[in-house]
Structure 1
Amino acid sequence: MSDALTAPVKLKVITTITQQDTKPEQYELWSEGTIMQKRDQIYLRYEEVQEGQHMQTTLRFGQEDAIIIRNGDIKMRMPFVLGQAQKGHYNSEYGQLPIVTLTKEIKFEPSESLQNGRFYLQYELLIGGQSVGDYALELNYTEGNK
C-alpha cells in the first residue's frame, strides 16, 4: 500500500457468534489502522490481539464479496461471496484446518468520505462439513489520526 493512497482510521469491530442451543456471544475490538480504495474495493488493515496472540488483519470488501486475511501468530484466509460457499483455511500451531464460509448477507455502507463507513457480514462457518455456528461481523470505521 502506498502512503499516498492510504488514510488512517479508527475501527470498532463487533463479532457475534451464535451456536446451536446457546446464547449468542459478542466480542468487541477497538483498533487503529489504514484504509485504501482500489476501484470498487475497500482495503482495511489493522492489528488484532486475541488471547495474547498478535495478528495483522487485512479486510478487503465490496458490495457482494469480501475476504479476511490474518497473518501473525494465527494465519487465516476466509473468502466471502454472497449466497455462495467459499473455501478458506485457518493455520494454528497444530497445523492447517480447511474451513468453508456460506455468506448470507453483505452490506457495505460508505459515506462521502473514504474514512467513514460501515461494513456488515453474516455467514455460517463450516469445519469438516459441520456447522460450528453463525457469525455476524459489524465493522464501523471513522477518520483516524495521522
Structure 2
Amino acid sequence: MKKAIKRSVKMRFQTKIFNGDHSDSYEFTTRGELFHKGNQDYLRFEEAFSENESVQTTMKWDGRELMLIRQGSILMRQGFIVGEETRGRYVTPDASWETKALTDKLLVQWPSGKTRGKIKLIYKFKLQDQETGTHEVRLTLEEDTET
C-alpha cells in the first residue's frame, strides 16, 4: 500500500449562520495537513475552543460527498451532498443529538503549486429536527512552505 503524501497548509476558516433576523459568525486561522488516500482527499486540522478544549477536525472529500468528522470535546459526523438531506450526529459530554443537513452549495478546490484552494459550503442545518438556520462555511487554503 502506498503511503499518503502529506502537505502542510495554512488555512482561514470562516462560518456565518443566518437564522431569521439573527446572524452569527466566527473565524480562525490555523495550520493543517492535506493528503490523498485511496480515492479520497483529506484535510485535517485542530480547532481550539479554549486552553483545554480542542477538537481534531477531518474533512474527507470523495468528489461527491464532503464528510465532516470532529473528535475531541465535541464529536460530530456529518456528510454534505448537494441537493440531498444527509443525517449525522452531534455529541457533547452531556448529550447526543441527531443532525440533518440540506446542502445548497458545495465547492472543493485543493491548492496546487502557487494557487490557493478553497472550500465553500452552504447548507440548512437541523439539530433534533429544530432548524438552526442557514450555515455558510468558507475555508481558504494555501500550501505552507514555511514548515
Superposition TM-score, scaled by structure 2 size = 0.87
In the other structure, the counterpart of 1:71 is: 71
Q: Is the 8 A contact 1:63 1:106 kept in 2?
A: no
SS of corresponding position for 1:135: strand
Q: Which residue of 1 aligns with 2:20?
A: 20
Which runs of 5 or more residues in structure 2 are unaligned? none
1:35·1:115 contact (CA, 8 Å) conserved in 2? no
- 1:36 partnered with 2:35: yes
Alpha carbons 1:58, 1:68 under 8 Å: kept: yes
Conservation of the 8 A alpha-carbon contact between 1:63 and 1:107: no
For residues 1-146 of structure 1, the aligned pairs below 5 Å read 5-22=5-22, 24-38=23-37, 41-52=40-51, 53-113=53-113, 116-144=116-144, 145-146=146-147
Q: Deviations over 1:6-46 (max 9, x none)?
A: 01111100001111121x22211111110012466321100
Seq. identity, % = 26
Question: Bigger CA drift: 41-50 or 5-14?
Answer: 41-50
Contiguous gaps of at least 5 residues in structure 1 = none
Change over 3 Å in CA distance of 1:70–1:135 after alignment to 2: same
Q: CA deviation at 1:62?
A: 4.7
Q: Is the 8 A contact 2:111 2:142 kept in 1?
A: no
Asked whether the 8 Å contact 2:60–2:66 carries over to 1, the reply is yes
Q: Distance in 2 between matches of 1:3 and 1:104?
A: 35
How much has 1:61 moved relative to structure 2? 2.4
The aligned length equals 144
Maintained 8 Å contact 2:56/2:70: yes
CA contact (8 A) 2:111 2:141 kept: no
The 3-state SS of whatever aligns with 1:83 is coil
Query: What CA RMSD, in Å, does the superposition of the two structures yield over aligned residues?
Result: 2.2
> Equivalents in 2 of 1:114, 1:100: separation in Å?
36
In the alignment, residue 12 of structure 1 is paired with which amino acid?
R
Q: Give the structure-1-normalised TM-score.
A: 0.88
Judged with a 3 Å threshold, the aligned counterparts in structure 2 of structure 1 residues 115 and 9 are, in CA distance, closer, same or farther, namely: farther
